[in-house]
């Protein structure tokens, strides 16, 4: 098996909890499993106490930018400097552009996946969740770079000076980047990638969920499951007014999300809200059991 499983959803819904729980589950089953977090605001470090049976990668924004510079810095410089009088500081400027780190996280994960070292890579994604669209922008950005250099070539007729350069032909490089962006998109929409969306039964999470499904469908990606996390169960605490009230509020959004997933032909799986004094690790353990029963058919 060589699979990528990614968790999407707004901050706080339980992406990290569910991805750690699933990673543990898979590792216990004997799968070679890697957990990758690209959420640049890691919270709840408690969750990571007992992680001896699987490997973890926590990518910070800075690390991602440095990796990007290492992989693409020189190429980008060689292209841009072929038609603009810029110094190498342009690399830092571009590495700092919004979206670069999200995009590059995807590239980085793709590289690990291609090495086939793991049966399953569990990817705890960034909170924003709209980053897939950036790949499309990236491919357009490279096209524009191509246009700009073509225009320059026309005006200056400097084809000769370009040819004399030792570096690769900039237009070829731009084409390669566009191909790369396309390959990443087709990897993400392939059978090797399972998208799991996480939601909570509330209005904001409902909004984000429908938005995420739209984004995915734009790229031909069909989420595999909708995890409805933190569902207050019927018998959670009789006579706790606050929880009773919250449960009442949840009912409406649970129904909406249930209908929404049914419309999309995707199974929704409910994960109970763990009340009491459970810490992150304990929550992971309990959640693990629910995930197991949800996924018993698909793993």
Distance set, CA 110 to CA 106, 190, 224, 260 (Å) = 6, 12, 19, 30
Residue 247 contact, options ligand ADP, Mg ion, none, Cβ 5-8 Å cut-off depending on partner type: none
| 278 phi and psi angles, rounded to 5 deg | -60, 135
What's the closest the beta carbon of residue 25 comes to ligand ADP, in angstroms? 15
Nearest by Cα to 294 from 176, 178, 196, 161: 196
Residue 252 contact, options Mg ion, ligand ADP, none, Cβ 5-8 Å cut-off depending on partner type: none
Distance CA 201, CA 229 (A): 8
Q: Which is nearer to ligand ADP, 42 or 220 (CB)?
A: 42
Distance CA 288, CA 22 (A): 6
Distance CA 237, CA 55 (A): 38
**217 token code pair:** 């469908």
The label of the residue with tokens 């990758």 reads 36
3-class DSSP assignment, residue 289: helix
Positive or negative, the CA dihedral 134, 206, 37, 63 is positive
Site for Mg ion in 96-135 (CB under 5 A): none
Nearest by Cα to 17 from 47, 37, 41: 47
Distance CA 242, CA 181 (A): 49
What's the closest the beta carbon of residue 209 comes to ligand ADP, in angstroms? 13
Residue 216 contact, options Mg ion, ligand ADP, none, Cβ 5-8 Å cut-off depending on partner type: none
Q: Which is nearer to Mg ion, 9 or 73 (CB)?
A: 9
What's the closest the beta carbon of residue 8 comes to Mg ion, in angstroms? 11
Q: Which is nearer to ligand ADP, 12 or 99 (CB)?
A: 12
What's the closest the beta carbon of residue 203 comes to ligand ADP, in angstroms? 17
What's the closest the beta carbon of residue 15 comes to Mg ion, in angstroms? 5
Q: Which is nearer to ligand ADP, 40 or 173 (CB)?
A: 40
3-class DSSP assignment, residue 36: strand
Site for Mg ion in 13-72 (CB under 5 A): 15-16, 39
State the residues that interact with ligand ADP by CB under 6 A. 9, 11-17, 43-44, 229-230, 271, 273-274, 280, 283, 287
Q: Which is nearer to ligand ADP, 43 or 249 (CB)?
A: 43
Residue 287 contact, options ligand ADP, Mg ion, none, Cβ 5-8 Å cut-off depending on partner type: ligand ADP
Q: Which is nearer to ligand ADP, 130 or 280 (CB)?
A: 280
Angle at the Cα of 29 from the Cα atoms of 27 and 34, rounded to 5 degrees: 20
**Per-residue interface string for the shown chain with Mg ion, residues 256-275, x marking contact by CB under 5 A:** --------------------
The label of the residue with tokens 């399953």 reads 120
Residue 3 contact, options ligand ADP, Mg ion, none, Cβ 5-8 Å cut-off depending on partner type: none
Phi-psi domain of 157 (left: phi exceeds 0; alpha: psi -120 through 50; beta: other): left
DSSP state of 189: T
What's the closest the beta carbon of residue 274 comes to Mg ion, in angstroms? 16
- Under rule CB under 5 A, how many of the chain's residues touch Mg ion? 3
Q: Which is nearer to ligand ADP, 43 or 154 (CB)?
A: 43
Residue 12 contact, options ligand ADP, Mg ion, none, Cβ 5-8 Å cut-off depending on partner type: ligand ADP
Q: Which is nearer to ligand ADP, 16 or 209 (CB)?
A: 16
Please compute Rg for the chain using Cα positions: 22
Q: Kindly list the residues in this chain that would bind Mg ion in the complex (CB under 5 A).
A: 15-16, 39
């Amino acid at each position: 098996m060589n699979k990528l499983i990614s968790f999407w959803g707004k901050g706080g819904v339980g992406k990290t909890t569910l991805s750690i729980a699933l990673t543990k589950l898979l590792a216990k089953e004997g799968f070679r499993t890697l957990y990758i977090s690209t959420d640049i605001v890691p919270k709840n470090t408690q969750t990571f106490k007992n992680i001896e049976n699987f490997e973890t990668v926590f990518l910070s924004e800075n690390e991602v930018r440095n990796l990007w510079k290492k992989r693409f810095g020189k190429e980008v410089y060689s292209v841009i400097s072929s038609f603009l009088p810029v110094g190498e500081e342009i690399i830092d400027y571009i590495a700092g552009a919004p979206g670069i780190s999200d995009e590059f996280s995807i590239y980085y994960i793709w590289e690990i996946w291609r090495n086939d070292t793991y049966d399953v890579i569990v990817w705890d994604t960034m909170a924003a969740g709209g980053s897939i669209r950036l790949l499309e922008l990236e491919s357009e950005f490279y096209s524009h770079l191509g246009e700009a250099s073509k225009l320059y070539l026309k005006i200056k007729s400097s084809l000769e000076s370009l040819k004399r350069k030792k570096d690769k032909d900039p237009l070829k490089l731009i084409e390669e980047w566009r191909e790369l962006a396309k390959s990443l998109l087709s990897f993400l929409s392939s059978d090797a990638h399972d998208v799991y969306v996480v939601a909570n039964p509330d209005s904001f999470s409902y909004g984000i969920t429908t938005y995420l499904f739209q984004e995915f469908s734009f790229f031909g990606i069909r989420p595999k499951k909708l995890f409805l996390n933190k569902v207050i169960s019927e018998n959670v605490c009789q006579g706790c007014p606050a929880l009773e009230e919250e449960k009442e509020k949840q009912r409406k959004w649970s129904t909406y999300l249930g209908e929404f997933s049914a419309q999309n032909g995707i199974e929704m799986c409910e994960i109970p809200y763990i009340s009491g004094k459970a810490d992150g690790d304990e929550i992971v353990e309990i959640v693990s059991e629910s995930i197991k029963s949800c996924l018993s058919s698909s793993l």
